Amino acid sequence: MSNEASMHADTSVNVPVEVHHHEEHAHHHHHESFITKYVFSQDHKMIAKQFLITGMIWAVIGGLMSVLFRLQLGYPEEKFMWLQDLMGKWWFEDGHLTAQAYYALVTTHGTVLIFFVLTAGLSGTFANLLIPLQVGARDMASPLLNMLSYWFFFLASVIMFSSIFVSTGPFSGGWTAYPPLSALHDASPGSQHGMDLWLIAMAVFVVSSLLGGLNYIVTILNMRTKGMSMTRLPLTIWGLFFTAILGVLSFPVLLSGFILLIFDRNFGTSFYLSDIFVATTNTALPNEGGNAILFQHLFWFLGHPEVYIIALPAMGIVSEIISTNSRKPIFGYMAMVASFFAIATLSFLVWAHHMFVTGMNPFLGSIFVLLTLLIAVPSAIKVFNWLTTLWRGSIRFTPAMLFAIGFVSMFISGGLTGIWLGNSALDIHLHDTYFVIAHFHLVMGVASMFGMFAGIYHWFPKMYGRYLNNTLGYIHFWITMIGAYLIFWPMHYEGLAGMPRRYFDYSTWVSFNQFEGLNRVISIVAIIVFAVQILFLFNFFYSIFKGRKVTTQNPWESNTLEWTTPIHPGHGNWVGEIPEVHRWPYDYGKDGRNFIPQNVPVGENEASH
């Protein structure tokens, strides 16, 4: 309720309402200092920008790491003396990346991209930006918790970053952190202090994600403007809503798994440990009776929903952008919501498909096969609905729209191979090969990245009041699209040759050394694609200050509420009353009218949807 009060305060301060909004900073109510405006801001729009830019920094770091380890895979013989000079002896020896450094890079790359970029960077940005703007609220339910959510993320970032510099190196046991490898200090140098920092960073990250998620859920349920029933919510909000629910229900389980791991590492417990002989110290450990597989259950109980935590916001963004730029309603709105619900529910019931070869009970495995393949049905519904939305549309190829179409393409390519892997009798062959790498990079990595790019291009004018450069956007899209397929499509073939993932060097293997040339090609394309992302970043930061100015309130002729705010919305979003909603957000091309925003009352002769 205190929030309600503060809102009234907001509006009353603004009484002499500005009607024209071409003037920047038209409605500054409280006198904000630099600190409260840009650093410890409680404005959801500023917090969104903080999440986005922190996510971008991590994306660059994670991307650079992949360039480094791709250099090793593409040029195992080559000496990179200049990199050694640059990075030092710990990483490079005699011009070659060390195995330890390779695994440290792979692990950090995975952790950072999945959690810091595609979870915090994606949900954090768009949930913060869009939830209040699209449901018609002045801010989140709790702006304070919202601010804390960012700062916990920031703290997690600092800790994770510092783990790169400890003398024994960052954690190097893979982003899945399976014990005993991750539990035993002597099993690998990366499992020493690097792992402690990794665990602390992840625990702090979970806190951030819970604070954010609870806030998103409460805001969507309680703070919708008048007339905004749940079935009038834009699909972006539905996607973010289910994402938040998944996070709130599954991250605590991950945290409990991590806490048990911390105990096993430091306090002599045996949750995951049993029957272990460590060769480096020549000792048999006292731990008995633990179960290493328990961790995998706890991990994947988050881990699988996590992949949807990454995918659902992108799906929501893409649905919204495809509909807007096809100038046509999203096809099957209710089916889209229902399939979100089905995916969210099923995603809690499929985790063990990552564990088919752990020796699990075959009957249990068969249940997970059934449920896993079931999840392909709602995924298929979504794809068919996007296709039908494009059909007989009037498509405008904004850069956002291109990325949205690219998302659908990637999601199809990567989703279909999920059907292979979900069938345990095939997974027993393909598990932990490059086939899995291809699958999840397409369906999750690239697809959700595309969703994020689409969102950035689409809402950049709302965030900064300027446009991104279109031509650079087109170059960015087409090179990334072509490059992503060139990188990941051939990896299916490597997987079908049985080539294991997480190998530092394949040259001694008769079964897998036939791909040397291919690996080189992949590495070269990866470097080019990385360079194009730098071009995008340049476009982003340049346009914040120098981009073409937005001159109309609703540049994409869109129906949703964020485009009814001033071009530079202040804290509180709307000047005066929050608009009332009279219709769903997808009245495009209805009765020959180009678009009808949600706040336009239903006409007398108009068939309401």
Q: Which residues bind ligand HEM (CB under 6 A)?
A: 176, 307, 310-311, 353-354, 372, 375-376, 379, 415, 418-419, 421-422, 427, 430-431, 436, 439-440, 443-444, 448
Shortest distance, position 181 Cβ to another protein, whole Å: 4
Residue-wise DSSP of 534-603? HHHHHHHHHHHHHSPBP-SS-TT---SGGGGS-SS--TTSSSSSPPP--S-TT-BSGGG-SB--TTSPPP
Q: Does 419 bind another protein (CB under 8 A)?
A: yes
The secondary structure element, H or E, covering residue 427 is helix 424-430
Comparing CA positions, the residue from 198, 298, 205, 201 lying closest to residue 254 is 298
- Which one of Cu ion, another protein, ligand HEM, none is in contact with 440 (Cβ closer than 5 to 8 A by kind)? ligand HEM
The answer to whether residue 172 forms part of the interface with another protein (CB under 8 A) is: yes
Does 541 participate in binding another protein (rule CB under 8 A)? no
Q: Tokens standing for 311?
A: 């995918």
The C-alpha angle with vertex 28 and arms to 25 and 30, in degrees rounded to 5, equals 155
Under rule CB under 8 A, residue 251 binds another protein: no
167 binds another protein (CB under 8 A): no
Retrieve residue 309's tokens: 């935590």
Q: How far is the CB of 503 from ligand HEM (least distance, A)?
A: 15
Please, which residues have CB within 8 angstroms of residue 72's CB and are 6 or more apart in sequence?
96, 97, 102, 504, 505
Question: Taking CB under 8 A as the rule, does residue 482 contact another protein?
Answer: yes
Residue 399 token pair: 């850069």
Give the residue nearest to Cu ion (CB): 304
Q: Enter the tokens of residue 284.
A: 């048999």
Asked whether 14 and 27 are in contact (CB, 8 A), the reply is yes
Question: What DSSP assignment string belongs to 130-152?
Answer: HHHHHHT-SS-S-HHHHHHHHHH
Using the rule CB under 8 A, is 174 a contact of another protein? yes
CA angle 309, 313, 314 (to 5 degrees): 110
Q: Tell which residue, 162, 148, 248, has the closest CA to residue 208.
A: 148
Choose the binding region for another protein from 202-210, 230-238, 255-263, 385-393 (rule: CB under 8 A): 385-393
Rounded distance, CA 166 to CA 437, Å? 29
500 binds, among another protein, ligand HEM, Cu ion, none (CB under 5 to 8 A by kind): another protein
Closest distance of CB 304 from Cu ion, Å: 4
Question: Which range of residues in 302-310, 394-402, 425-433, 492-500 is near Cu ion by CB under 5 A?
Answer: 302-310
For position 431 contacting Cu ion by CB under 5 A, the verdict is no
Question: Which of 44-52, 261-269, 443-451, 494-502 is the region at the interface with another protein (rule: CB under 8 A)?
Answer: 494-502
Q: Which option in ligand HEM, another protein, Cu ion, none does residue 436 bind, with CB closer than 5 to 8 A by kind?
A: ligand HEM
Give residues 54-93 in contact with another protein (rule: CB under 8 A): 82
Q: Which of residues 313-372 bind another protein (CB under 8 A)?
A: 326-335, 357-359, 362, 365-366, 369-370
H or E, element range at 40: none
Q: Interface with Cu ion includes 224 (CB under 5 A)? A: no
Of the candidates 144, 502, 580, 601, which one interacts with another protein according to CB under 8 A? 502
Which residues ranging from 304 to 343 are in contact with Cu ion (CB under 5 A)? 304
| Residues near Cu ion, by CB under 5 A | 304
